[in-house]
């Protein structure tokens, strides 16, 4: 049955402080729906106005109002929450001491007055038999939270003390400790006891143990019991079972319900993964960004999208930065290539080699190239030319243009001794890399043309140099910036017709490349945009235009005419095309 919000509030504020612990333990594990959250906030606003500060219920009203400011309002108002907890604490309200302490723990050193006050408030709450305070302190001793020294013995003692007061949260926490220590019988007994007392957390933990043992049918039954009480952890666990069975629709419905809880970041992260699987990278990215504040795994997931350019321009610098942040938080599950780059940047070359080797085993051509570079640089191990060449050759079979470029350079490393066969191999590799969009190979290819004596090869060299200069790597390579800009000599005011000779020759060169190559279409578009901006609008196709270009050399005229002809054909401008015929 869904929680009756008004009934819960009335039961809570009229209960004694000890019973409030039990009610709060159950309540904080429940997922409230948006309408329930709104109803809770409205009721608390009315109670704050109508409850006298002399009423015995006043401290409890203050506490719930403070709690709602943190978890239920659209925007968390910690300042108002602290004010409510502080005032309620003056009436010796144990739960208010605990929640006020939780604020004082954040951001203060162990030597600060605020930290000491937080410790004092927590101890006061424990002395007042606040079982939730015992559980929070025990968890801190287990995890080391709030700069608490890890001490499992003290943690178990606190859990055991809370259990004597029938704290279901303590039963579950102590049960997890027993499970970690290998005592499944003791863990099961405590989870079962929590279930008997109606704990949705106990139901979730019991289901988790059944799933761990391979009994998914029983696990699902316990998850369903917890879900009926609004337990969002059980919703996430049930989602995974539904996905295993192939029921994606039901899984998504349950996840959508679970991640609405601001505390259930794991559910929202799982939903982001499903959005990514469905190809909705925009929504996935938005969800990952929200989750990244709490989950290092979300930082890595977001980094993968940015690294590969899925739905967005590649931003490998940001991707690396996100993975570094995740690594700083102890999260190590990331692509070996990225981890290798991080370690190499730190100077940990041997460790970088290990991660690149993992990438090599996974047939990642980028990892092969980076490992080859370390082989050649004598970092991370002795220089190994043979291994580097083998890795580059393997990467070439996987269409790595960087490997083609590096391998071609190796064939020409000693220009005085290079054989015609090596030059032929290098030429073939440069051509292959250029066809796949590796524009760093253009200059190298042009140099090879320039070394020959034929006029045609000189022309080819000039075109290649022009292309390389007009379209720098930063503007063309998607993985560098994602910004595509046509670079031409001159500015908007002084651009000359001479500069369009290079663009005409570039278009001619593009016709020799595979037309299904994405960058060919992109470069053509940029060139035609430049024609439209810098020629058609500035130089109308009239007698003055013909007079201007007639003063240029025949080669330049040919380049401009070819450029305009291609532009006219691209735009299907028959009138413009007929005008060009007069030239």
pLDDT tens for residues 523-541? 677 677 766 666 666 666 6
Is pLDDT of 436 > 50?
A: yes
Structure tokens at 376: 């050649």
Total structural domains within the chain: 1
CA-CA distances (angstroms) from residue 314 to 199, 243, 310, 480?
47, 30, 8, 7
Would you say residue 517 lies in a domain?
Answer: yes
Instruction: Identify the pLDDT of residue 349.
Output: 94
Is pLDDT of 260 > 50?
A: yes
More confident residue, 63 or 542: 63
Structure tokens at 181: 């220590």
Neighbours of 424 (CB within 10 A): 12
Q: Are 132 and 93 in contact (CB under 8 A)?
A: no
pLDDT-based confidence at 27, cuts 50/70/90?
confident
Mean pLDDT of 105-117: 71
Instruction: Identify the pLDDT of residue 22.
Output: 82
Structure tokens at 547: 């007079």
Neighbours of 106 (CB within 10 A): 11
Would you say residue 144 lies in a domain?
Answer: no
- CB neighbour list of residue 143: distance below 8 Å, 6 or more residues apart: 150
Would you say residue 553 lies in a domain?
Answer: yes
**311-315, 320-324, 417-421, 575-579 — which one is most confidently predicted on average?**
320-324
pLDDT-based confidence at 468, cuts 50/70/90?
low
Kindly report the average pLDDT of the chain as a whole number: 82
* Alpha-carbon dihedral 433, 439, 442, 444, rounded to 10 degrees: -70
* Alpha-carbon dihedral 160, 163, 165, 167, rounded to 10 degrees: 140
pLDDT-based confidence at 460, cuts 50/70/90?
low
Would you say residue 524 lies in a domain?
Answer: yes
**CA atoms of 86 and 90, how far apart (whole Å):** 7
CA-CA distances (angstroms) from residue 418 to 365, 410, 452?
27, 10, 15
pLDDT-based confidence at 65, cuts 50/70/90?
very high
Instruction: Identify the pLDDT of residue 581.
Output: 56
Would you say residue 578 lies in a domain?
Answer: yes
Query: What percentage of the chain carries pLDDT values higher than 90?
Result: 50
Would you say residue 211 lies in a domain?
Answer: no
Q: DSSP character for 112?
A: S
Could you give the count of Cα atoms lying within 13 Å of 94 in the half-sphere of its Cβ? 20
**CA atoms of 278 and 297, how far apart (whole Å):** 19
Would you say residue 97 lies in a domain?
Answer: no
Would you say residue 45 lies in a domain?
Answer: no
Instruction: Identify the pLDDT of residue 255.
Output: 87
Could you give the count of Cα atoms lying within 13 Å of 121 in the half-sphere of its Cβ? 26
Q: Are 28 and 53 in contact (CB under 8 A)?
A: no
Radius of gyration of the chain (CA): 34
Neighbours of 465 (CB within 10 A): 18
Question: How would you label 283-295 residue by residue, b for 16+ Cβ within 10 Å and e otherwise?
Answer: ebbebbebbbeeb
**CA atoms of 359 and 57, how far apart (whole Å):** 63
Mean pLDDT of 562-583: 61
pLDDT-based confidence at 472, cuts 50/70/90?
very low
**CA atoms of 127 and 97, how far apart (whole Å):** 11
3-class state of residue 240 by DSSP: helix
Range of the domain at 513: 498-582
3-class state of residue 379 by DSSP: coil
pLDDT-based confidence at 482, cuts 50/70/90?
very low
Instruction: Identify the pLDDT of residue 481.
Output: 27
Candidate from 230-239, 294-303, 307-316, 321-330 with smallest mean pLDDT = 307-316
Instruction: Identify the pLDDT of residue 117.
Output: 87
Question: How would you label 184-215 residue by residue, b for 16+ Cβ within 10 Å and e otherwise?
Answer: eeebbebbebbbeeebbbbbbbbbbbbbeeee
Candidate from 45-54, 139-148, 319-328, 501-510 with smallest mean pLDDT = 501-510
CA-CA distances (angstroms) from residue 233 to 195, 201, 240, 331, 515?
15, 8, 11, 22, 52
Q: What backbone torsions phi and psi does residue 147 show, to the nearest 5 degrees? A: 60, 25
Structure tokens at 36: 């329930």
**CA atoms of 298 and 305, how far apart (whole Å):** 11
């Amino acid at each position: 049955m869904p929680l009756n919000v008004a009934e819960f509030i009335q039961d809570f504020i009229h209960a004694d402080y000890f019973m409030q612990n039990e009610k709060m333990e159950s309540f904080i594990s429940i997922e409230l729906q948006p309408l329930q959250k709104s109803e809770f906030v409205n009721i608390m606003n009315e109670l704050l106005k109508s409850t006298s500060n002399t009423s015995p219920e006043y401290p409890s009203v203050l506490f719930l109002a403070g709690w709602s400011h943190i978890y239920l309002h659209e925007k968390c108002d910690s300042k108002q929450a602290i004010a409510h907890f502080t005032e309620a604490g003056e009436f010796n309200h144990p739960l208010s001491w605990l929640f006020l302490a939780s604020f004082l723990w954040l951001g203060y050193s162990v030597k600060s007055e605020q930290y000491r006050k937080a410790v004092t408030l927590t101890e006061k709450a424990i002395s007042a038999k606040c079982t939730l305070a015992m559980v929070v302190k025990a968890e801190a001793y287990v995890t080391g939270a709030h700069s608490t020294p890890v001490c499992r013995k003290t943690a178990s003692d606190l859990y055991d003390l809370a259990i004597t007061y029938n704290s279901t949260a303590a039963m579950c926490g102590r049960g997890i400790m027993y499970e970690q220590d290998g005592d499944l019988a003791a863990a099961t007994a405590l989870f079962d006891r929590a279930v008997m007392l109606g704990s949705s957390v106990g139901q979730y933990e019991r289901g988790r143990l059944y799933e761990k043992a391979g009994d998914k049918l029983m696990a699902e039954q316990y998850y369903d019991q917890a879900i009926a009480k609004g337990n969002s952890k059980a919703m996430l666990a049930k989602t995974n079972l539904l996905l295993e069975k192939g029921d994606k629709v039901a899984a998504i419905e349950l996840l959508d319900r679970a991640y609405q809880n601001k505390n259930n970041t794991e559910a929202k992260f799982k939903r982001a993964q499903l959005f990514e699987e469905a190809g909705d990278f925009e929504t996935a990215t938005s969800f990952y960004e929200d989750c990244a504040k709490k989950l290092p795994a979300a930082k890595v997931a977001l980094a993968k999208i940015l690294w590969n350019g899925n739905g967005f321009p590649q931003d490998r610098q940001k991707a690396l930065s996100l993975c570094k942040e995740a690594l700083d938080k102890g999260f190590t599950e990331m692509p070996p290539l990225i981890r290798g780059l991080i370690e190499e940047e730190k100077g940990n070359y041997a460790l970088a080699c290990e991660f690149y080797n993992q990438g090599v085993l996974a047939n990642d051509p980028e990892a092969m190239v980076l490992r080859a570079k370390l082989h050649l640089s004598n970092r991370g191990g002795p220089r190994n030319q043979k291994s580097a060449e083998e890795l580059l050759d393997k990467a070439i079979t996987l269409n790595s243009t960087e490997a083609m470029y590096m391998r071609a350079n190796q064939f020409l490393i000693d220009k005085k001794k290079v054989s015609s066969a090596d030059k032929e191999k290098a030429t073939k590799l440069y051509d292959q890399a250029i066809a796949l969009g590796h524009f760093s190979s253009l200059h190298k290819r042009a140099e090879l043309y320039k070394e020959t004596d034929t006029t045609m090869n000189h022309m080819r060299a000039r075109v290649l140099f022009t292309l390389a200069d007009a379209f720098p790597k930063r503007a063309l390579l998607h993985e560098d910036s994602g910004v595509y800009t046509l670079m031409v000599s001159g500015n908007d005011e002084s651009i000359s017709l001479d500069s369009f000779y290079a663009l005409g020759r570039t278009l001619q060169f593009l016709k020799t490349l595979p037309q299904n190559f994405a960058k060919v279409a992109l470069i053509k578009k940029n060139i035609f945009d430049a024609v439209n901006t810098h020629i058609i609008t500035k130089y109308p196709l009239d007698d003055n235009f013909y007079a201007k270009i007639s003063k240029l050399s025949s080669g330049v005229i040919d380049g401009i005419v070819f450029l305009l002809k291609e532009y006219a054909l691209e735009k299907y401008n028959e009138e413009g095309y007929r005008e060009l015929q007069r030239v």
